[in-house]
Amino acid sequence: MPCDRCTSRRKISYQNADVDRPFVGALSSGFCNWRIDFTHADTENRTYRTSRGTTHTECKIAPMRNNSPQTLPRYGKAWAEQNRDQDPDQAWRTRRRRAGIAAFLSGLVLTLAFFAFFPGLPHVIDWGAILVSLAAGGLAQWSCRSWINRAARAKSKAKAEQM
């Protein structure tokens, strides 16, 4: 058989599939509107069964699917295929949400570091410093989301003018 990792017998006791490069999903908005299918072919590479997975509308960084044990009617091989039809609006919302979370955490940590290490301030993190840090994180998140929204509006306006 040309595929070393494929199942070459009729009985399949365990079958699962996932994305082997999750960092690609982490760098983008993840995999949105995805489905994993298991396909079975006979020894002459003729496909005779495809087990379609459920289409998931949420965005995930590392999608995964398990398949139940089964006995195939013919000898051959089995493999998994990932299908995705990414909704641009959903991907944009996911990127916007992740950027907002990163901006909030950055504002929070930088403000806490300022209160902890800035010369001339008491090096004690009290409730006032925590509240100011939360406010700075919220302000950073708001400004990041506003910037993303403004850039998206400018992009859609430029696209509309081209048409």
For residue range 35-94, what is the model confidence (pLDDT) as tens digits? Answer: 888 888 888 888 888 888 887 777 777 788 887 788 878 888 877 777 766 566 766 777
User: How far is it, in rounded angstroms, from Cα 60 to Cα 54?
Assistant: 14
The structure's pTM equals 0.50
Task: For strands 70-71 and 11-12, give the pairing.
Answer: antiparallel
**Can you give the pLDDT at residue 28?**
59
- Torsion 147-149-152-157 (CA) sign: negative
Whose CA is closest to 77, among 128, 32, 38, 30?
Answer: 38
Local structure of 41: helix, strand or coil: strand
Chain-centroid distance, C-alpha 39 = 24
* CB distance 40 to 3 below 8 Å: no
**Can you give the pLDDT at residue 1?**
31
